[in-house]
A = this chain, B = another copy of it.
Amino acid sequence: MSLYRDALDANPQAGSCQVPLSAVMESVAVLKPFRRGQQIHGREGPGEHLYRIVSGMARDCVLLADGRRQILDLLLPGDFFGFTDHAEPEVTVEAIVDGTLVASYPWRRLETLAESDPRLVRLLREIAFDAVSRSRGRMLILGQLNARERVGCFLVEMAERLSDGPAAALVLPMSRYDIADYLALSVETVCRVLTDLKGRGAITFTGTNRVKILDRCALQAGGRPRERRYAQSSARQEAAPA
Chain A interface (Cβ within 8 Å of chain B)? 36-37, 56, 62, 64-70, 72, 83-86, 88, 94, 96-98, 107, 111, 114-115, 118, 121-122, 124-125, 128-129, 131-133, 135-136, 138-140, 142-144, 162-163, 167, 169-178, 184, 207-210, 225-228, 230, 232-235, 237-242
Contacts A98-B237, A140-B62; A226 near B132 (Cβ below 8 A): no
User: Which residues does chain B contribute within 8 Å of A171, judged by CB atoms?
Assistant: 238-242
User: Which residues does chain B contribute within 8 Å of A177, judged by CB atoms?
Assistant: 230, 234
User: Are A66 and B225 interface neighbours, CB within 8 A?
Assistant: yes
User: Are A37 and B128 interface neighbours, CB within 8 A?
Assistant: no
User: Are B136 and A84 interface neighbours, CB within 8 A?
Assistant: yes
User: Which residues does chain B contribute within 8 Å of A129, judged by CB atoms?
Assistant: 83-86
User: Are A62 and B136 interface neighbours, CB within 8 A?
Assistant: yes
A163 to B225, CA, bound (A): 39
Top 10 nearest A-B pairs (CB, nearest first) are A37-B233, A135-B135, A143-B184, A128-B128, A66-B225, A142-B142, A175-B235, A83-B132, A67-B228, A70-B143
User: Which residues does chain B contribute within 8 Å of A237, judged by CB atoms?
Assistant: 36, 97-98, 173
The chain B residue with its CB closest to the CB of A232 is B37
Query: In the complex, how many angstroms separate the beta carbon of A126 from the nearest chain B beta carbon?
Result: 8
The chain B residue with its CB closest to the CB of A66 is B225
The chain B residue with its CB closest to the CB of A81 is B132
The chain B residue with its CB closest to the CB of A118 is B115
Query: In the complex, how many angstroms separate the beta carbon of A106 from the nearest chain B beta carbon?
Result: 13
A227 to B10, CA, bound (A): 49
User: Are B115 and A121 interface neighbours, CB within 8 A?
Assistant: yes
User: Are A72 and B139 interface neighbours, CB within 8 A?
Assistant: yes
User: Are A178 and B124 interface neighbours, CB within 8 A?
Assistant: no
A185 to B132, CA, bound (A): 23
A239 to B62, CA, bound (A): 28
